Amino acid sequence: MKPSILVARAVFPEVIERLRQHFDVEDNQEDKVYTADELASRLQGKDGMFSTLSERVDQALLASCPQLKAVCNMAVGYNNIDVDAASRAGVVVTNTPDVLNETTADFGWALLMAAARRITEAEQWLRDGKWQKWRYDSFVGADLHGATLGIIGMGRIGQAIARRSTGFGMQVIYHNRSRLAPELEAQANHARYVGREELLREADHVVLVLPYSPALHHTIGEAEIALMKPTAVLVNIARGGIVDDAALIRALRERRIAAAGLDVYENEPALNPDFLTLTNVVLTPHIASASVATRLAMANCAADNLIAALTGAVPPNLLNPEATKGK
């Protein structure tokens, strides 16, 4: 008998077909976002779940699904999953690193450029029929070329963002849990390691790419924003909760920083409605990895992990090897 899996959200039909070659698949191509109870009920008798960042996998869910052996997330981030609880329950957890690095780095730049050069604000003004004449100071923004770029979270995506900055003649400073090896710093446009406060003070623009954990909740709040230059742009492609959104809204409204480019929010998709009242913020709906090729690569990567996990192999992106000692 084939193992049984739940694909918790809609995904590329060809990936579902691929999974069907190995598993009895319950899909969700109508893309309902299940409540915790619905998810627990759908997972009864399932050996594995193909999940996305919308599915919360916590102690309670794991306790209610004793047959579950693998949760394979189609995302590099996995803060929707209590990995320790999964390990204790003998459930292997995987993510989809690497395949999205370059696409996500591209998007970080798109947000930075759009916010610094006020692109969405200017487009909205044009669409509203307000363009009557050219003016010397219409939508003047901040330059990126020659500026100092501060990157907080210098993993693979942060490094890919830094590499792109060479074309803009920028200097890169970064802060990270640990300092990169000298050869990686050299490849990342000779990025210079600095303390977080120094980065916030010195950077002309700041990009956040760090993974979320409760210890990093509100890494950027009122006090941190106060250190930034009034001309600075803040970009968040990390996770909601890394930034204190209410503090950011106050700072943007009072022009204590120039602008922000945001792809992630506290409590998304129900973002703070005050963001919508501001013109100096570019808002996108968590799409940094959303190129066709990359989303397909992520889905196939999650499928590879699930196939390995339920056929006795070591999944390529196993996050909790300790789980395999449990079941």
Active site residues: 239, 268, 286
Classify residue 193 as exposed, middle or buried by CB count within 10 Å of its CB (0-12, 13-18, 19+): middle
β-strands 205-208, 4-7 pairing? unpaired
**For the window 45-64, what string marks contact with ligand GLV as x by the rule CB under 6 A?**
--------x-----------
Nearer to ligand GLV, 100 or 249 (CB): 100
By the 8 A CB rule, do 313 and 29 touch? no
Among 10, 28, 77, 278, binds ligand GLV (CB under 6 A): 77
Pairing of strands 70-73, 148-152: unpaired
Of the candidates 92, 83, 323, the one whose C-alpha atom is nearest the C-alpha of residue 211 is: 83
- Residue with the shortest CB distance to ligand GLV: 77
- Show the 3-state SS of 25-52: EECCCCCCCCCHHHHHHHCCCCCEEEEC
Helix (H, G, I), strand (E, B) or coil at 174: strand
- By CB under 6 A, the residues from 85 to 124 that bind ligand GLV are 100
| Cβ distance to ligand GLV smaller for residue 49 or 76 | 76
Which one among 61, 68, 76, 251 touches ligand GLV, defined by CB under 6 A?
76
Distance separating alpha carbons of residues 174 and 162, to the nearest angstrom: 9
Minimum separation from the CB atom of position 192 to ligand GLV (A):
27
Between 287 and 314, CB nearer to ligand GLV: 287
Give the range of 72-80, 82-90, 117-125, 254-262 binding ligand GLV by CB under 6 A.
Answer: 72-80
| Residue 289 lies near ligand GLV (rule: CB under 6 A) | yes
Binding site for ligand GLV (CB under 6 A): 53, 75-77, 100, 289
